[in-house]
Amino acid sequence: MTNRLAKSQSLYLRKHAENPVDWWPWSEEALETARREDKPIFLSIGYSSCHWCTVMEGEAFSDEKIAQYLNEKFLPIKVDREERPDVDSIYMQALQMLTGQGGWPLNIFLTPDDLTPFVGGTYFPVEPRYGRPGFLEVLQKIRGFYDIEKINLTT
């Protein structure tokens, strides 16, 4: 089963079309859906020749449990940085401000109402390794934080 990226012009986005993650392209429809459903946005930005982008696509974004959680609790948006350097630039600066570093894949979580970034990172492994927690654990903690703190995030 393919997702919304299947007909994309971008080779990078089409590479994610077979993921079980129900990816949206960056669009007003996606942003409006996130607002209407009150779902935080999981924005993932990368490009075709990015090694860790490819690793995450083959691991985390192909994992059924991770995809199910992402699809239920977030609105996942995938962006090709070569197609949308404007979006990449904004959120790379935000990631650098949040973490002191940047890189790709650029994975950042946004409030649905005003697109405020509140947590971000780069590569997240499926299972804990490289001194990093597993991606599903990261998603669960971020969603819990969002549910508790969303009033403070949007004011």
Which letter, b or e, does each residue of 87-124 get, where b requires 16 or more Cβ atoms within 10 Å of its Cβ? bbeebbebbeebeeebebbbbbbbbbeebebbbbbbbb
Q: How confident is the model at residue 153 (pLDDT cuts 50, 70, 90)?
A: low
Is the distance from CB of 120 to CB of 109 less than 8 angstroms?
Answer: yes
Residue of 5, 105, 100 whose CA lies nearest to 51: 105
Residue 56, classed as helix, strand or coil, is helix
**Which range, of 7-16, 55-64, 143-152, averages the lowest pLDDT?**
143-152
DSSP summary character for residue 108: E
pLDDT of residue 155: 56
C-alpha atoms less than 13 angstroms from C-alpha of 137 in its C-beta half-sphere: 9
Length of the chain: 155
Write the pLDDT tens digit of every residue in 110-140.
999 999 999 999 999 999 987 888 999 999 9
Whether the full predicted model's pTM is greater than 0.85, yes or no, is: yes
pLDDT exceeds 60 at position 12: yes
Tokens matching residue 54: 């490819």
Contact predicate 135/83, CB 8 Å: no
* DSSP helix/strand/coil, 27: coil
How many angstroms separate the CA atoms of 117 and 86, rounded?
Answer: 15
* Mean pLDDT along residues 30-45: 97
